[in-house]
A and B are shown apart, each in its own frame.
Chain A
Amino acid sequence: MPAPRELRVALVGNPNTGKTTLFNRLTGSRQKIGNYPGVTVEKKYGTWECGGRTVTLVDLPGTYSLAASSPDERVALDFLTGHLAGEPKPDAVICVVNTSNVVRNLFLASQVADLGLPLVIALNMADAAEKADIHVDAALLSRRLGVPVVRTVATKGEGMVALEAAVNEAVDERALMAQVPWPEAVDHAVQHLGEGLAAAGAQDLAPGEVRRVLFDRESAVLERSGWPRGADSAPLLSAARDILSSAGLHPASAEALLRYEHLGHVTANAVSFPERRRRTWTETIDAVLTHRVWGLAIFLGMMLVVFQSIYTWAAPFMAAIEMAVAAVQEFVAPHFAAWPALQSLVVDGVVGGAGGVVIFLPQILILFFFIALLEDTGYMARGAFLMDKMFGWCGLNGKSFVPMLSSYACAIPGLLATRTIEDPRARLTTILIAPLMSCSARLPVYTLMIGAFIEPTYGAMIAGLTLFAVHLVGLAVAVPVAWGMNKFVLRTRPLPFLLEMPPYRRPRLRDILWRMWERAREFLVRAGTVIVAMTIIIWALVYFPRPASVREGIEAEASGLFEPADLERKIDAAYIEQSYLARAGRAVQPVFAPAGFDWKITVGVLASFPAREVIIATLGTIYGVGSEVDEESQDLRSMLGRDRWADGPRAGQPVFNVPVALALMVFFALCLQCGATVAVMAKESNWGWAVFAFAYMTALAWFGAVLTYQLGMRWLGV
């Protein structure tokens, strides 16, 4: 049979082996990113021209084992056994091994070998190992294992040609790695279990998978094979494990003990370590960076820089994007002058919506520059080590810190940063609470309310304190929310927080730039479309219905009395007052009455669901001072201050007072008024969780606003 010219090859390996660098090196820019169906595990694949063959190279998630106790491990196992929908079994596997720690890395390789796939071992980061005086005899190892073993340094491109030859050789000669010489009891137990499972209707179980069922504490393989979990499988499993016990093997640890014993023999005399262990650079650096005083101080200092960079340094780039969008709008508008509805759709809906996507890029690029830097140097693990205690007790972990801090600038980069959290449960919890952090888009509301109502009454000191306090509201609520989610909502089993602290490494600019570009591109493609669609829907709700009679009525009544620009503002105010959104606002207003909101505030709140900062422009339009006002506008502030209730129990009293201003701020602090965040949440978890987050935050916001208003009215004696 002629050898196929197109191959599928999987890349597996432990974390911190340089696997992704190798993937990037082999595939260059010919790669794609997606998600495996039903799980939030990232799917990366690319094309590799491999010695005359075209290889589809799949970068599987980094794992230490195939025990399938985490979604990452499960995807790796299902992929390798051909049980992932639409993913045929690979023709060969490259196991990337950290040359400094061969034995532990070969544990995974020996599990892969069980699945009967041709294998190539890449001894990567060989330069670092040699520097530490660790030497591996690749030829000897290759003879003993029965598969090609290649020395590589992916960062420098060394060994790539040899790797091409090795993959071709492994496929052509079906190079299978020597199996662990399992004791008779293991084979016996596997046979017993396999027959029992087959008799009970479990489907497509390879012997390697049956071994996983036997050894793993709660095997996901059983679930996949259609075998009922729990009680029904228990007698068969325990019978099989009893076979191990009666041979003197402890079922839970047998696999690891036997594999490591075998690997000890395989690597004997093939791996040499330095005679005397020297103090490494990493230990010297760690003495400072994880020091109880200096370590924490340096960490907080670095986080301050990260925060400043996305909060402050991104601002000029964002302003430039806003100007560019405005210029495009001005340029396109005249071309559609004959069709006002189409003009508004193109200018406000399409161009405005696209601008609303691109505006996030500076923050995403800057944050991912830092994240790539922190991860590639190995510092991220130290930060998580320092912070874990603060987060662990409520179901998060030390890696939640960077996403939460970033969310104080903007939840979009913050949510994308949760990719650094390996534990799926901690990651989901972080995703669910990240939007509670007070992002910079909430600041205009705070500024307007504090400037108009708090500062004039209580002075600058209290105004400053209020601004500080309202930034803490979200965080204060997030902690019990995270705790409650973990206790009552998330049902999956938590994983132990095991975190490898790799040696420090010099980062490579090329890899960092690649990561920034990858994230930005993914955001534009996947979240961008949803954000534009939402913008257009809200545009329609504000724009329609648009009967000409409204304009004609105002023009007939007031033309000549006002300047043309003021007249246009009056017409805009009249149009928004009868828009579908305003009708909804009036209908919903009773719900917000306990928080002290009138219909105008309610419309402002509703209009702000796609993007919270819109409230300023909406209030500007409703109050007839124009949509181009900002939060510093004295006109808007005095219009708000003068507004009185026309009817109802508070007729004649001011619409805005201190309790209303506080309630509105609390509402904005807690509410998920950001279509882009909802879209990114859905992409990073799924739509179910996005809707859940939206619902719980809206409910929290309403309760918070009502509580604030009611207590405020009582205590502040308004």
Chain B
Amino acid sequence: MNTGFCPLAALRAGERGRVQPSSDDHPAHQHLWALGLLPGTEVKVVQVAPLGDPMELEFNGMHLSLRKADASSLQVERLA
């Protein structure tokens, strides 16, 4: 499996990543941070919806559906 950094939206179902600090000012960020999807948090892509969007994420025991457009605003380190 390839490691390294990629947008959260690029992870496939079953893959995990660690959220990286981000300096850009995306409107979804404050919402995601409030939910605890902070830099350093480990996140798993549970599945992608049958029509290709949105994706179901799991982090800190929460399951969250997030559109890929918003998920691509977060960089993650891909975890093996």
Contacts from A to B (Cβ < 8 Å): 64-65, 67, 69, 100-101, 103-104, 107, 216-217, 250, 252-253, 255-257, 260, 273, 282, 290-293, 295-296, 381, 384-390, 392, 493, 495-502
Given the known inter-chain contacts A295-B50, A388-B65, A389-B49, please indicate yes or no for A107 contacting B36, CB distance below 8 A: yes
* Cβ contact within 8 Å between B30 and A497: no
> How many angstroms from the CA of A384 to the CA of B49 in the assembled complex?
10
What's the nearest-Cβ distance from chain A to residue B59, in Å? 10
- Return the chain A residue nearest B49 by Cβ: A385
Question: How far apart sit A222 and B63, CA to CA, in the bound complex (Å)?
Answer: 33
Contact string, B26-48, partner A, CB cutoff 8 A, digits 1/0? 01111111111011000000010
From B21, B28, B38, B47, A260 is in contact (CB under 8 Å) with B38
Q: Give 11 A-B contacts (CB < 8 Å), ordered by A residue.
A: A256-B30, A256-B38, A260-B38, A296-B50, A381-B65, A385-B49, A496-B66, A497-B66, A498-B70, A500-B63, A501-B64
The distance from the CB of B32 to the nearest CB of chain A, in whole angstroms, is 7
1/0 contact string of B46-69 vs chain A (CB within 8 Å) = 010111111010001111111100
Please give the residue numbers on chain B whose beta carbons come within 8 Å of chain A beta carbons, in ascending order: 21, 23, 25, 27-36, 38-39, 47, 49-54, 56, 60-67, 70
CB < 8 Å: which of A103, A296, A389, A498 contacts B32?
A498
Are B51 and A389 in touch, CB under 8 angstroms? yes
Give Cα A523 to B36, complex, Å.
Answer: 39
Separation of A431 and B36 alpha carbons in the complex (Å): 32
Contact of A256 among B21, B33, B47 (CB under 8 A): B33
B50 and A386 contacting across the interface, CB-CB below 8 Å: yes
Q: Lowest 6 CB-CB distances: which A-B pairs, in order? A: A256-B33, A389-B51, A292-B50, A496-B28, A65-B34, A499-B65
Closest chain A residue, CB of each to CB of B67: A497
What's the nearest-Cβ distance from chain A to residue B23, in Å? 7
Q: When chains A and B are docked, how far (Å) is the Cα of A69 from the Cα of B27?
A: 10
Contacts of A497 in B (CB 8 A): 54, 65-67, 70
Q: Are A502 and B63 in contact (CB under 8 A)?
A: yes
Contacts of B63 in A (CB 8 A): 282, 500-502
With both beta carbons as reference points, the residue of chain B lying nearest to A389 in the complex is identified as: B51
> Are B62 and A498 interface neighbours, CB within 8 A?
no
Contact A498 B35 (CB under 8 A): yes
CA distance A386 to B25 in the complex (A): 29
CB A534 to nearest CB in B, in angstroms, measures 41
Contact (Cβ within 8 A) A101 B61: yes
Pick the contact of A392: B33, B56, B67 (CB < 8 A).
B67
